[in-house]
């Protein structure tokens, strides 16, 4: 970002889970460019997290890499303690870590079901719970942000689009949607805003098979009215907006960043 770019998150501290790759890495870099100090959580790629921290520090920002499996309660508590030790406060949580373990329903193992629900849904619960506890302790600081704290849940268009062969993943994202809305309702009076982002097809490792070959990309583009695959930066710009005071009256909503994937593209030619 150019030196004179607006920095709506100046003086704030953010934590991004699954921040060492893909959408999380893009979000971490964009939050830092907007002025936030950023905790870059990673599960298994210290190199990926170090590269994101490097990129942020090279442009004058502050960041720290923190290893955690977000599905483990004691590790999540340690993650937030680590962030507070380093930066002293928390203003923004982007609960982004997620995985797929795809299988035809009749073949899906309990382990495939549980692992996806544990990381995608329970992981967001554990992280959001720590964030709410910290926001409540800190209280509101209008000089820093209009809200007491902001939580952004990385969902998916599959919070509303059913997805055969990915029942565990779609169930986790549908769960995230109602967790996000119920939590938003519960904590709004304490000044905490909770929203979701539902990306469509974003070019990252998680969906490499869907864009890697020209044939696969062609099939994917048939589902995207806007005519291009999304990039992590497309999601990152939405995250910066949802984290900033520009969206101060927005809570309990999902922002779809999907090039129109949820617009029933099959009906484009008159149904």
Binding site for ligand NAD (CB under 6 A): 17-18, 20-24, 41-45, 68-71, 96-99, 119, 154, 156, 199, 201-202, 204-207
CB of 81 to ligand NAD, least distance (A): 16
CB of 265 to ligand NAD, least distance (A): 16
Q: Which residues are catalytic?
A: 169
Task: Rank residues 116 and 145 by Cβ distance to ligand NAD and give the closer one.
Answer: 116
d(CA 51, CA 101): 26
Task: Rank residues 191 and 232 by Cβ distance to ligand NAD and give the closer one.
Answer: 232
Task: Rank residues 96 and 251 by Cβ distance to ligand NAD and give the closer one.
Answer: 96
For 85, the token pair is 């030790």
Alpha helix locations (H) across 139-213?
167-187, 208-211
**Would you list the DSSP string of 68-131?**
--TT-HHHHHHHHHHHHHHHS---EEEE---------GGG--HHHHHHHIIIIIIHHHHHHHHH
d(CA 101, CA 154): 17
CA distances for 164 relative to 119, 155, 169, angstroms: 20, 17, 10
d(CA 96, CA 93): 9
CB of 210 to ligand NAD, least distance (A): 8
Task: Rank residues 18 and 35 by Cβ distance to ligand NAD and give the closer one.
Answer: 18
Task: Rank residues 44 and 189 by Cβ distance to ligand NAD and give the closer one.
Answer: 44
CB of 4 to ligand NAD, least distance (A): 29
Asked if 257 and 238 touch (Cβ cutoff 8 Å), the reply is: yes
For 59, the token pair is 């442009």
Query: Which residue, chain included where needed, has tokens 């979000």?
Result: 27
d(CA 265, CA 120): 27
CB of 249 to ligand NAD, least distance (A): 25
């Amino acid at each position: 970002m150019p030196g004179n770019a607006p920095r709506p998150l100046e003086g704030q501290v953010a934590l991004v889970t699954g921040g060492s790759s893909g959408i999380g890495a893009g979000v971490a870099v964009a939050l830092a460019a907007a002025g936030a100090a950023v905790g870059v959580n990673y599960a298994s790629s210290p190199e990926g997290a170090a590269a994101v921290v490097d990129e942020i520090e090279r442009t004058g920002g502050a960041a720290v890499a923190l290893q955690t499996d977000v599905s483990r309660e004691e590790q999540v508590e340690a993650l937030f303690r680590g962030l507070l030790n380093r930066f002293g406060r928390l203003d923004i949580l982007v609960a982004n870590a997620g995985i797929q373990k795809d299988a035809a329903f009749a073949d899906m193992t309990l382990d495939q079901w549980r692992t996806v629900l544990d990381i995608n849904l329970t992981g967001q619960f554990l992280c959001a719970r720590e964030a709410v506890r910290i926001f409540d302790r800190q209280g509101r600081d209008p000089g820093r942000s209009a809200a007491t704290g902001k939580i952004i849940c990385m969902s998916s268009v599959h919070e509303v689009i059913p997805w055969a062969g990915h029942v565990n993943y779609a169930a986790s994202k549908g769960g995230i949607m109602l967790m996000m809305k119920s939590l938003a309702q519960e904590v709004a009076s304490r000044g905490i805003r909770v929203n979701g982002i539902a990306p469509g097809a974003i070019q990252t490792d998680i969906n490499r098979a869907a864009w890697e070959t020209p044939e696969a990309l062609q099939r994917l583009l048939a589902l995207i009215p806007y005519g291009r695959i999304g990039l992590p930066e497309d999601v990152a710009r939405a995250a910066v907006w949802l984290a900033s005071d520009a969206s101060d009256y927005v809570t309990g909503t999902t922002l779809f960043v999907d090039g129109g994937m949820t617009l029933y593209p099959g009906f484009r030619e008159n149904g």
